Amino acid sequence: MSDMLVKLYDLPEREALLPSLQNAGIEVRLAIPPEKHVVVEWVRSTFNSHWASECEAAFSRQPVSCYIATAPRADADGNNTRKMIGFACYDATAKAFFGPTGVDPEARGLGVGKELLIAALHAMRAEGYAYGIIGSAGPADFYAKLVGAVEIPGSSPGIYRGMLR
């Protein structure tokens, strides 16, 4: 998969959460350091160890560069708590890189991925980046349609060339 380039100075505005997310009690926000162990383990168990490593790198920055999406749930005692349903990192593998990002399969199709992407790209713009790179972009059509991302020719495998597996 090729990398994609995004003009951060030409992003769609970050609006309030989609009404469907609000109605479901879903929150998208920047993670905080005390949540690192929970977020990284969720990423590892839901996706893979490579993404968990990148997520750990996002937590090593100040400010943290990992957004999370959470949804309400009741614990075994009936107390209201929250559960992870998605994440998006930036500046994890390289400066100006967006990703990795993922949404729990049960929460896909609600707009969670869109909200995570827009939040992270706006944070990158606020930190002074004019352009962002979506590393090894999976759903290229999604990124092209939502934020006008374009493929960077010759960028596969790019920075990931020779990565230990």
Lowest mean pLDDT across 8-22, 102-116, 148-162: 8-22
Residues 135-155: what's their mean pLDDT? 95
Residues 2-22: what's their mean pLDDT? 87
pTM above 0.85, yes or no: yes
Residues 30-58: what's their mean pLDDT? 98
- Give the residue extent of every domain in the chain: 4-158
Rounded distance, CA 138 to CA 113, Å?
13
* Peptide bond just before 100 cis, omega within 30 deg: yes
Residue 18 tokens, joined: 């989609």
Confidence of residue 93 (pLDDT cuts 50, 70, 90): very high
CATH class of 4-158: alpha beta
